[in-house]
Amino acid sequence: MEDFADKGLQVVVGLAIFAAIIGLIMLVVDRAPKSGREKLQVAGFLAPALILLAVGLVFPALQTSYISFTNRNGEFVGLDNFVWMFTQPEALVTLRNTLIWVVLVPLLASSIGLAYAVFIDRARGEKALKALVFMPMAISFVGAGVIWRFVYAYKGAEQNQIGLLNQILVWLGQEPKQFLLDAPENTFFLIAVMIWIQTGFAMVVLSAAIKGIPTEIVEAARLDGASAWQQFRNVTIPTIRGSLIVVITTITIGTLKVFDIVRTMTAGQYETSVVANEMYTQAFRAGEPGRGAALALVLFLMVLPVVVYNARLLRKQKEIR
């Protein structure tokens, strides 16, 4: 219990220091002399956030870019780390896996999410049905890792299975399988976890978009004798195109950065590593900050076009409004 009191005290002290800093800023900007008061007030409000961002994000990002050109002793080695990344088999596997992730997760999560949103639209119990699929969004990747490792759990053929998936294989008369150990298909079983998490996000956003479709359009299509499938293809999809793109790009960004699932389920072994996990392994476990930084930089370069595209799309939507 003493331990918890100690922790509580730390939190109280932390909050108090923070409150004191903010209070001091407010006091100073209020007491400022009339001339130049506006400037000082602006500076006082912006400074804490901007200083933190400069020191904690801008400067480190630049430094990481530099570190990516150095070796483990901090000596400048030019493009060596990038050459390593694009020639060594173990690094190439990482890149290949990341590519598979980034193609499959957005595609499948959005399709399943969209299908589900359409199927349950205005159905009885829609709210509850949504919550069921949406719930994994709230669960941490680590928690999801445990949940799914349990689904994939393996026991020898002569034993009772405790993993649901292997039990299903046994029921179907198959041999139980080491889902997470056998490359290359193990990557797909990790991807399934990410899809399980992201589908709810896609479903909720797309469902909101579907409900925003003006009823006149739907009715007109219906009067023209369009079938359910035709309505879906020619009315629903084009109308919610904007939301669909936002969903796909957002999931793409999240997938590129995926770390926790791989870390907790296989730790990147058995040829399942992805860029974000390998970055951590190299920088903080293998003592190769240069390689880690290079991987982080590549990650940045992969995320960049997606974010830019997303931002431009959002701006265009705003202009339309």
Partner 1 sequence: MSTVPLDNTNKLLPDVNDDVTQGQSTMQKRVRQRLTSRRATAAAIIIAVIWTVPTFGLLVSSFRPEANIKGNGWWNVLTDRQFTLENYADVLSPGGSQSPNLLSYFVNSLAIVIPGTVFTLVLGAMAAYMFAWGRFRGKDSLFIFVFALQIVPLQMALIPLLQLFTKVLKFGDFQVLPSGTYAQLWVAHTIFGLPLAIFLLHNFIAEIPGEVIEAARVDGAGHSTIFWRIIIPLATPALASFGIFQFLWLWNDLLVALVFSGGGADVAPITQRLAEIQGSRGGEWQRLTAGAFVSIIVPLAVFFGLQRYFVRGLLAGGLKG
Using the structure block, give the residue that is written with the tokens 């359409």: 118
**Residues 191-230: x/- map of binding to partner 1 (CB under 8 A)?**
-----x--xxx--xx-xxx-xx--x--xx--x-----x--
DSSP conformation letters of 50-111: HHHHIIIIIHHHHHHHHHTTB-TTS-B-TTHHHHHHHHSHHHHHHHHHHHHHHHHHHHHHHH
Q: How far is the CB of 22 from partner 1 (least distance, A)?
A: 6
236-275 binders of partner 1 (CB under 8 A): 246, 250-251, 253-254, 256-257, 259-260, 263-265, 267
80 or 231: CB nearest partner 1:
231
Phi, psi angles (nearest 5°) of residue 192: -55, -35
Based on the shown chain and the rule CB under 8 A, indicate whether residue 289 belongs to the binding site for partner 1. yes
Helices and strands, number each (H, E), in the chain = 16, 0
Closest CA to 139 of 193, 205, 186, 202: 193
Q: How far is the CB of 136 from partner 1 (least distance, A)?
A: 7
87 or 123: CB nearest partner 1:
123
Closest CA to 108 of 275, 254, 306, 251: 251
Q: Are 84 and 91 in contact (CB under 8 A)?
A: yes
135-174 binders of partner 1 (CB under 8 A): 135-143, 145-151, 153, 160-164, 167
100 or 231: CB nearest partner 1:
231
Based on the shown chain and the rule CB under 8 A, indicate whether residue 76 belongs to the binding site for partner 1. no
44-73 binders of partner 1 (CB under 8 A): 45-46, 48-50, 52-53, 55-61, 63-65, 67
89 or 216: CB nearest partner 1:
216
